[in-house]
């Protein structure tokens, strides 16, 4: 009878540590994006339009803290990043591909530079980003060939790329 309890006491902290590591990874990705658009985030925070997004609050991204535009799932992973319409200026980061719980990415109506994510930059998760809202964000270049060959999007219902300088 003591063995099951002992096993539980040993395994419970390990699972908690894995969850904390995943949350820390998600927070690091969000901080990378904040750094890539630091002046916009600073202005939006001063205006009170964006709250949370601070390096001293990364442990709170999915643990009770409120970060504007961020929604987390039951596993405390970032599941939605909804920053459409904030006028964020900066660059699109490939680290978004590390958000393995992400099911919605809305960066519409911002002024982001960079190229479209390649197949390897996309999260390998059970729920592909659905929908993608990338209209009017400023990404440029051709659509990656990998999207047509190796980039499986079986449940994609909407991909809005309006008002981008696509070649």
Q: 58 near 24, Cβ under 8 Å?
A: yes
- Omega cis (within 30) before 131: yes
pLDDT at 41 over 80: yes
Q: Which of 46-50, 90-94, 102-106, 122-126 has the lowest mean pLDDT?
A: 122-126
Domain topology for 2-160 = 3.80.10
pLDDT exceeds 70 at position 73:
yes
For residues 107 and 83, is the Cβ–Cβ distance under 8 A?
A: yes
| Higher-pLDDT residue of 163, 10 | 163
For residues 143 and 116, the answer to whether their CB atoms sit within 8 Å is: yes
Supply the pLDDT for residue 69: 92
User: Could you tell me the residue ranges of all domains in the chain?
Assistant: 2-160
Average pLDDT, the chain: 70
Q: What is the pLDDT of residue 117?
A: 58
Three-class secondary structure assignment of 4-51: HHHHHHHHHHHHHHHHHHHHHHHHHHHHHHHHHCHHHHHHHHHCCCCC
Q: Indicate the pLDDT class of residue 103, thresholds 50, 70 and 90.
A: confident
For 125-165, the pLDDT digits (tens) are: 444 444 455 555 555 556 555 555 445 444 455 566 666 65
Would you call 17 exposed, middle or buried from its count of C-beta atoms within 10 A (0-12, 13-18, 19+)?
exposed
Please list, in sequence order, all residues whose beta carbon lies within 8 angstroms of the beta carbon of residue 43, skipping any fewer than 6 positions away: none
């Amino acid at each position: 009878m003591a063995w099951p309890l002992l096993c539980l006491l040993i395994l419970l902290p390990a699972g908690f540590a894995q969850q904390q590591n995943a949350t820390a990874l998600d927070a690091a990705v969000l901080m990378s994006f904040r750094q890539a658009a630091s002046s916009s985030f600073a202005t939006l925070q001063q205006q009170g339009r964006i709250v949370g997004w601070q390096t001293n609050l990364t442990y709170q991204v999915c643990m009770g803290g409120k970060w504007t535009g961020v929604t987390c799932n039951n596993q405390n992973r970032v599941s939605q990043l909804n920053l459409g319409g904030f006028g964020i200026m900066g660059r699109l980061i490939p680290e978004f591909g590390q958000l393995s719980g992400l099911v919605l990415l809305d960066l519409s109506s911002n002024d982001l530079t960079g190229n479209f994510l390649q197949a390897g930059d996309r999260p390998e998760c059970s729920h592909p980003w659905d929908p993608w809202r990338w209209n009017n964000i400023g990404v440029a270049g051709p659509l990656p060939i990998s999207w047509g060959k190796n980039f499986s999007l079986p449940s994609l219902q909407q991909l809005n790329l309006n008002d981008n300088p696509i070649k």
